[in-house]
């Protein structure tokens, strides 16, 4: 055991083969004391070392049930925050590269959401008429904001249930940070597009009139996932001209126009399940992150299933891509040496308030 943590600079020039050897050795040394989580969008060079794989909430909940002292989350920052919030007090959440963030999560911060809430309060009685919902792809302080105002968290797989829970409590919803998940889910529930208005936090009163706010059922934040905005309706039209038998499946972070042309809309877990359960010799066009689609293609080709990425342009999560074998080796070898690096810990009171919003969600689903 060393007295000083190994610096990341010592790992930067290691090739992937050497990192692989050292990661395997470190994992063997740590055993059950450490669990490595791999999000579906993670690059293959890192994903191969995951003890558990899945979407962010599934991974956090499973890690909390594990025997591990250390939760190494190969994902992005908000995911490690959720793991810290939901895990046992003695467990430590770690993010291999603290610069691995989420551009969509960054589109809504606590000060802008608080300002929106105060502006809405000048027009309507927000506390009695509006339920704040934050997508799990958001910072812990926004989850805490929802907990403070009797709100809730949602995921792409349970958004419909969460919206229904919210409407049972109050007549309106403030939904952030992803406008597309909110719009696609609301429309699927029968809410007209003109009752879902877009709040632009850069403009006074969100760029909306008093009448628009008063008539709205869902106030959508003007955030989006850049990965899922690559997909366009023309991609579907062009592909179907060549392969008319194709079934189209899209993640609800994709645009309304793309989702309306899809045969199925679903979360990463739903996309995987539907295609895995599909009949052999079927063809699929998929609108979600490239690493997931490529792995699914390799998994299913033996059954004669053709799984295609929707866009001709490469679209992967660039911030998640920051987690590489070098950072993973660095984190794990430091743990072997008795040093915790890159711990992600949500401080009070945010931790308690965020846990309240997350528990509201878990009580519904």
The CATH number of the domain where 164 resides is what? 3.40.50.10800
Domain ends where: 225, 258, 283? 225
Q: Which domain covers residue 285, as residue numbers?
A: 233-309
Q: Give the helix/strand (H/E) hosting 277.
A: helix 268-277
pTM of whole model > 0.85? Answer: yes
Return the pLDDT at 319: 81
Q: Of all residues in the chain, what percent carry a pLDDT higher than 70?
A: 99
Are 180 and 109 within one domain? yes
Q: Output the CA torsion sign for 336, 331, 80, 181.
A: negative
Average pLDDT per block of 10 residues along the chain, 365 residues long: 83 96 98 97 95 95 96 96 97 97 94 98 97 98 98 97 98 98 98 98 97 98 95 97 98 98 97 97 96 96 97 79 95 98 98 98 95
Number of folded domains that form the chain: 3
44 and 62 both lie in a single domain: yes
pLDDT confidence of residue 318: 79
Same domain membership, residue 238 and residue 217:
no
Of 189, 204, 225, which marks where a domain is finished? 225
Given strand 92-94, what is the order of strands in its sheet?
Answer: 52-54, 34-39, 70-74, 92-94
- Here the tokens at position 236 are 């579907």
**Are residues 104 and 142 in contact, defined by beta-carbon separation less than 8 angstroms?**
no
Q: Answer with the one of 171, 199, 225 that is the final residue of a domain.
A: 225
Both 109 and 92 in one domain: the answer is no
Q: How far apart are CA 191 and CA 199, in angstroms?
A: 17
Same domain, 95 and 118: no
pLDDT at site 1: 52
| 266 located within any domain | yes
């Amino acid at each position: 055991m060393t007295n000083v943590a190994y610096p990341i600079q010592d790992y930067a020039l290691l090739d992937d083969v050497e990192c692989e050897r050292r990661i395997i050795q470190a994992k063997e040394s740590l055993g059950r004391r450490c669990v490595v989580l791999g999000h579906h969008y993670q690059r293959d060079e890192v994903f191969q070392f995951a003890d558990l794989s899945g979407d962010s909430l599934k991974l956090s909940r499973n890690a909390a049930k594990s025997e591990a002292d250390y939760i190494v989350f190969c994902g992005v920052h908000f995911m490690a925050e959720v793991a810290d919030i939901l895990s046992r007090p003695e467990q430590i959440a770690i993010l291999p590269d603290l610069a691995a963030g989420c551009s969509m999560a960054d589109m809504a911060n606590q000060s802008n959401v608080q300002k929106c809430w105060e502006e809405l309060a000048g027009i309507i009685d927000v506390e009695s008429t509006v339920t704040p919902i934050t997508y799990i792809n958001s910072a812990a302080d926004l989850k805490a904001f929802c907990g403070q105002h009797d709100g809730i968290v949602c995921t792409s797989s349970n958004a419909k249930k969460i919206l229904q829970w919210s409407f049972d409590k109050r007549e309106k919803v403030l939904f952030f940070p992803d406008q597309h998940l909110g719009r696609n889910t609301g429309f699927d529930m029968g809410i007209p597009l003109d009752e879902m208005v877009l709040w632009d936090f850069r403009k006074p009163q969100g760029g909306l009139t008093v009448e628009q706010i008063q008539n709205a059922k869902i106030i959508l934040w003007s955030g989006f996932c850049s990965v899922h905005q690559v997909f366009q309706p023309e991609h579907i039209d062009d592909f179907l001209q060549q392969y008319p038998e194709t079934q189209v499946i899209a993640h609800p972070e994709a645009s309304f126009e793309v989702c309306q042309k899809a045969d199925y809309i679903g979360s990463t877990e739903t996309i995987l399940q539907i295609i895995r359960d599909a009949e052999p010799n079927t063809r699929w066009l998929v609108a979600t992150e490239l690493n997931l689609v490529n792995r699914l293609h390799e998994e299913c080709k033996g059954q004669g299933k053709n799984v295609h990425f929707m866009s001709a342009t490469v679209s992967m999560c660039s911030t998640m891509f920051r987690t590489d074998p070098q950072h993973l080796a660095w984190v794990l070898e430091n743990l072997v040496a008795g040093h915790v690096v890159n711990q992600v810990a949500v401080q009070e009171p945010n931790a308690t308030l965020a846990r309240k919003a997350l528990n509201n969600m878990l009580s519904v689903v």
